């Protein structure tokens, strides 16, 4: 695969932005206009766009999958248009896919567009799929921070910057309410994959979201087993995510 470090200007954020990109190697006789299925792979709260390449073997795991992987940097934003910061939701849901498709041979079809992430990135991946089910066919969360309703207690400083001190989580940023909205709609519904280690501090929140999604009848595949909130767990389970993704054969 090709590994590309891409620095570009974000019009949405009005700052320089960064994404790392993995692209499959071209095959002999491949059409010149081929567009690849794409996984937007999101980092956690204390990480950046380099984390997946530094701490897992994602490039090696993806080599046989014929999929492009886009890894953006969003700081500690929880993939949200922040009250006291930058509009990272608009960036990641609108500008990032548009820029990535302009720079690289990526498909713009819903059935070829996926999201995945760990911890804060698991929240971001599910938010992309549940808030924009018209654009994302599937999403995966590993050890996801899926319930932000008590986020003011766990991440008080970040919560204040993102939503405002003492403010509730807005409906469009609450995965539980977004799941209800998608389930009640007559529109497309994304496939979901969720995994969390039984020793993870976010385990109970993951079980709560699982029960809620199941009660709504959403299509969600769930796995759990021994593991904490660490890269050993995420390195193992990103392989399961890649195997699970509904990647169309070329």
Domain-located, residue 174: yes
Element (H, E) at 165: none
Domain-located, residue 249: no
How does pLDDT run along the chain (250 residues), one tens digit per residue? 999 999 999 999 999 999 999 999 998 888 888 999 999 999 999 999 999 999 999 999 999 999 999 999 999 999 999 999 999 999 999 999 999 999 999 999 999 999 999 999 999 999 999 999 999 999 999 999 999 998 888 999 999 999 999 999 999 999 999 999 999 999 999 999 999 999 999 999 999 999 999 999 999 999 999 999 999 999 999 999 999 999 987 6
User: Domain containing 104: what range?
Assistant: 2-244
| Burial class, 76, CB count within 10 angstroms (exposed 0-12 / middle 13-18 / buried 19+) | middle
Tally of structural domains, the chain? 1
Domain-located, residue 218: yes
C-alpha pair distances (Å), 124 with each of 79, 102, 120 = 6, 23, 6
Q: Which residues contact 31 (CB under 8 A, 6 or more apart)?
A: none
Domain-located, residue 250: no
Position 250 scores a pLDDT of 64
User: What residue has token string 């911890």?
Assistant: 119
CATH code assigned at 72: 3.40.50.1820
Domain-located, residue 158: yes
Tell me the two tokens of residue 17. Answer: 């932005």
């Amino acid at each position: 695969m090709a590994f590309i470090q891409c620095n570009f200007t974000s019009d949405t954020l009005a700052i320089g932005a960064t994404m790392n990109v993995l692209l499959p190697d071209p095959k002999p006789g491949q059409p010149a206009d081929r567009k690849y299925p794409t996984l937007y792979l999101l980092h956690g709260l204390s990480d950046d766009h380099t984390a997946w390449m530094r701490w897992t073997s994602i490039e090696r795991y993806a080599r046989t999958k014929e999929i492009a992987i886009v890894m953006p940097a969003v700081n500690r934003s929880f993939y949200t248009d922040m009250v006291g910061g930058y509009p990272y939701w608009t960036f990641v849901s609108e500008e990032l896919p548009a820029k990535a498709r302009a720079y690289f041979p990526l498909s713009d079809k819903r059935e070829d567009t996926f999201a995945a992430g760990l911890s804060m990135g698991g929240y971001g991946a599910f938010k992309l799929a549940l808030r924009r089910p018209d654009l994302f066919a599937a999403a995966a969360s590993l050890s996801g921070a899926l319930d932000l309703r008590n986020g003011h207690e766990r991440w008080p400083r970040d919560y204040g910057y993102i939503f405002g001190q003492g403010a509730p989580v807005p409906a469009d940023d609450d995965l539980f309410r977004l799941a209800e909205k998608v389930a009640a709609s007559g529109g497309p519904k994304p496939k979901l994959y969720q995994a969390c280690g039984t020793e993870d501090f976010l385990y109970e929140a993951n079980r709560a979201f699982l029960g809620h999604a199941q009660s709504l009848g959403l299509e969600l595949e769930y796995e759990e087993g021994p593991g904490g909130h660490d890269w050993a767990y995420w390195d193992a389970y990103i392989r399961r995510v890649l195997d699970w993704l509904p990647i169309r054969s070329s």
